[in-house]
Structure 1
Amino acid sequence: MIRVLVTGAGGPAGVNFVRSLRAAPEPFYIVGTDTNRFHLEWPPLDAAYEAPPCDDPRYLDFLLDVIERERIDFVHPQPDAEVRAISELRERLPAKTFLPSVETVRICQDKRRSGELWQRAGVLRAPSLAVRDRADLERAAELLGVPFWLRASAGAGGLAATPVHDLEAGWHWLRYWQISRPAIEFVAQELLPGANLAFTSLWCEGELVCAQVRERLEYIYPHLAPSGVTGTPSIAVTRDRPDVEQLAVRAVRAIDPRATGIFCVDLKEDAEGVPRPTEINCGRFFTTSYFFTAAGLNIPHLYVRMAFGERPSPADLARLPEGLYWIRHIDCPALLRRASELRARAHVYA
Structure 2
Amino acid sequence: FYIVGTDTNTFHLACTDADASYVIPRCDEPGYEEALLKIIAIERVSLVHPQPDPEVGWLSENRDSFPGLLSLPEHADVVACQDKMHSNRLMAAADVPVPKSIRAHAHLDFQDAVDSLMGRSGKVWVRAIRGAGSKAALPVTTGDQAFHWIRYWCANKGLSTTDFMLSAFLPGAEFAFQSLWNDGELLTSMARERTEYLMGNLMPSGQSSSPSVARTVHRDDVNEIASKAIQAISPRPHGVYCVDLKEDDRGVPSVTEINCGRFFTTSNFFAAAGSNMPYNYVRLAFGDRVDELPRYNACEPELYWVRGVDRKPHLFKGAPWIQRRAA
Structure 1 length normalisation: TM-score?
Answer: 0.88
Q: Which residue of 80, 87, 91 maps to 1:107?
A: 80
Aligned pairs, how many?
321
CA contact (8 A) 1:202 1:263 kept: yes
Deviations 1:247-270 (A, max 9, x none): 000100000010101001000011
Q: CA deviation at 1:94?
A: 4.2
1:194 to 165, 168, 172: 172
CA distance in 2, matches of 1:158, 1:187: 12
Deviations along 1:79-113, one digit per CA (max 9) or x if unpaired, are 00000011111111144211111111011000000
Distance in structure 1 (CA, Å) of the matches to 2:143 and 2:50: 38
Asked if the contact 1:219/1:232 (under 8 Å) is kept, the reply is yes
CA RMSD in angstroms, aligned pairs only: 1.7
Stretches of 4+ aligned residues off by more than 4 angstroms: 315-318
Letter in 1 for 2:97: L
Matches within 5 A, 1:1-350: 28-124=1-97, 126-133=99-106, 135-145=108-118, 146-184=122-160, 185-314=163-292, 319-339=298-318, 341-342=320-321, 344-348=323-327
Compared with structure 1, are the counterparts of its residues 45 and 316 closer, same or farther at alpha carbon in structure 2 (3 Å cutoff)?
Answer: farther
TM-score normalised per structure 2? 0.94
Give the Cα–Cα distance (whole angstroms) in 2 for the partners of residues 340 and 50 of structure 1. Answer: 40
How far did 1:341 drift?
A: 3.5
Amino acid at match of 2:143: L
Alignment partners' CA distance in 2, 1:194 and 1:229: 13
Look up the equivalent residue of 1:162 and give its one-letter code: L
Offset at residue 333 of structure 1 (A) = 1.2
Distance, in Å, in 2 between the alignment partners of 1:268 and 1:301 is: 28
Give distance in 1, aligned partners of 2:259 and 2:148: 29
Percentage of matched positions with identical amino acids:
45
**Counterparts in 2 of 1:315 and 1:268: CA distance versus 1, 3 Å:** closer
State the 1:126 CA deviation. Answer: 4.7
Q: Is the 8 A contact 2:127 2:135 kept in 1?
A: yes
Is the CA contact (8 Å cut-off) linking 2:3 and 2:19 kept in structure 1?
Answer: yes
After superposition, give the CA deviation of every residue in 1:272-324 in whole Å (9 maximum; x if it has no partner): 11101100111001111111111111010000111122232325777211100
Residue pair 1:220, 1:230 contacting (<8 A) in 2 also: yes
